[in-house]
Amino acid sequence: MKAYHELEAIFRRRGVLGGVQSLLHWDTAVNMPDGAATVRGEQLAALKVLQHELITDPRVGALIEAAAGVDGLDPWQRANLRKMRRRWLHATAVDPTLIEAETRAATECEMIWRGARKDADFARVAPALTILVERVRETAARKADALGVSPYEALLDQYEPGLATARIDTLFADLEAFLPDFLERALAHQNRRPPAVAPTGHFPVEKQRALGVRFMQALGFDFEGGRLDISHHPFCSGVPEDIRITTRYDEADFTSALMGVLHETGHALYEKGLPEVWRNQPVGGAVGMAVHESQSLLIEMQACRSRPFLDYAAPLMREAFGGHGPDWEPENLFRLYTHVARSFIRVDADEVTYPAHVILRDRLERDLIAGRLAVADIPAAWNDGMGAILGIVPANDAEGCLQDIHWYSGGFGYFPTYTLGALAAAQLFQAACRTVPAIPAAIGRGDFGPLIAWLRHHVHAKGSLHDTDGLLREATGEPLGASAFKAHLASRYLA
């Protein structure tokens, strides 16, 4: 047990440094002046190297081998050791020089992307992205050798441990076979109903924020241990005791920012509910990004775009903005929040078309990492892909390949987890409502207690004791699949 406890001490320190890194990333997005990008890159790189040095100390490999031979480890400790070994394999595959180079390249590329996105000018960021992609390819190749997988699977493994491209292909093929016909049926059904009308007016940021805070509090977000701020791209960051949420506001339309806040609150509730006794240990963290995304989508899509929620929320929206008339009625707001359309922006896409956005990005980034797609050719490939998969072509790069931060901050291998998370969200919500039938009615009263309690017990408190399929089997009776998601879409968009 001595070897195991030494490993816990090492990984605890590494976890604390990771928390500092997360808060620096938040500051980069929220507060940092553009001129500080270079020094921030140095700071982040130094933190990454420190974490890398901790885990790549030659003693760590020996301690892992020694701990593996111990018979007295309980299931949580055994799972923690498996997670430690996986992180050790990732870390020892890459030397500090490459880590530092990739981190600097990612920070500089992200800062250039901010201006390029604003001006719809991909050419401006292409040189920096080319350098970053080269660093990512090198990292992927080294990790692939260590893990015995393909380079792209090595990147996937950073976000969803053990995920194989074959599994993604199976699930995505199921969706690709289902969605085109379903989209046409959903659009036809939508056209038979009165059109959704967006409330018009001026919606000041401070009033939007106050409304968002009100719903965050209803969900159980703890503002004594968290914040809500503004950034270019909404995200949730920080540590369980200090959670940072960001969104972006449009004073002509409050609906998008509100759902963004609710989405990120789902992430925050998951982080807050992770097992405190295992804080800063690998097993105490999220299973992977698919489950993490399932928690945000479950709150946003399953709960907060539902008729019961909008029955509760509509009067509060009218009160917040002084609205009146049929545009503010729950049924119109429901049609608005479940409106289906072929659109360009992923974060604003509806549930039916969203998987198409993810499938396109998955294909393009696989080609980028494999060297089949050059950085300079991304805009054309993106536009061709959008035309093929959704039948629309962006008017400019801001509507197209510049819209997401992920690639420009080095986040390759992340996109598939969004749609895997949507599948898991539907599966978990279905199981929660089957087990606790009162959940929808409680949501209609603004009471999220029954839903959150179920998630705390079946998802949050489990940490990384199981992998994604293991967690879903225990919580829902089935591994990850698409059937619950397809049933959810049918009940919401064809009923």
Cα–Cα distance for residue pair 495/306, rounded to 1 Å: 13
Average pLDDT over residues 264-273: 98
pLDDT at position 422 is 98
pLDDT tens column, 475-484: 999 999 999 9
Cα–Cα distance for residue pair 262/45, rounded to 1 Å: 32
Average pLDDT over residues 356-379: 98
Cα–Cα distance for residue pair 426/415, rounded to 1 Å: 18
> In angstroms, how far is CA 201 from the centroid of its own chain?
31
- Does an H or E element contain 443, and which? helix 439-444
Contact 233, 405 (CB under 8 A): yes
The pLDDT confidence band at residue 155, using thresholds 50, 70 and 90, is: very high
pLDDT at position 365 is 97
pLDDT at position 322 is 96
Judged against a pLDDT cut of 90, whether residue 348 lies above it is answered with no
- Closest Cα partner for 237 from 16, 459, 33, 21? 21
pLDDT at position 233 is 79
Average pLDDT of the chain is 96
Judged against a pLDDT cut of 90, whether residue 129 lies above it is answered with yes
Average pLDDT over residues 356-384: 98
CB atoms within 10 A of CB 326: 9
C-alpha separations of 448 from 265, 271, 442, 445 in Å: 13, 17, 7, 9
pLDDT at position 96 is 87
Contact 320, 313 (CB under 8 A): no
Domain locations in the chain as residue ranges: 2-159, 167-493
pLDDT at position 167 is 96
Judged against a pLDDT cut of 90, whether residue 128 lies above it is answered with yes
The pLDDT confidence band at residue 314, using thresholds 50, 70 and 90, is: very high
pLDDT tens column, 82-125: 999 999 999 999 998 998 999 999 999 999 999 999 999 999 99
Q: Which of 108, 160, 264, 399 is flagged as catalytic?
A: 264
The pLDDT confidence band at residue 54, using thresholds 50, 70 and 90, is: very high
Average pLDDT over residues 164-183: 96
Q: 206 catalytic, yes or no? A: no
- Closest Cα partner for 427 from 491, 359, 475? 475
Contact 459, 475 (CB under 8 A): yes
pLDDT at position 20 is 96
pLDDT tens column, 377-433: 999 999 999 999 999 999 999 999 999 999 999 999 999 999 999 999 999 999 999
Rg (CA), the chain: 22
pLDDT at position 245 is 97
Average pLDDT over residues 310-320: 97
pTM, two decimals, is 0.94
Lateral strand order in the sheet of 235-239: 226-230, 242-247, 235-239
In CATH, the architecture of 167-493 is Orthogonal Bundle (1.10)
pLDDT at position 243 is 97
Burial 388-413 (b: 16+ CB within 10 A, else e): ebbeeebeebbbbbbbbbbbbbbbbb
Q: Give me the count of residues in the chain.
A: 495
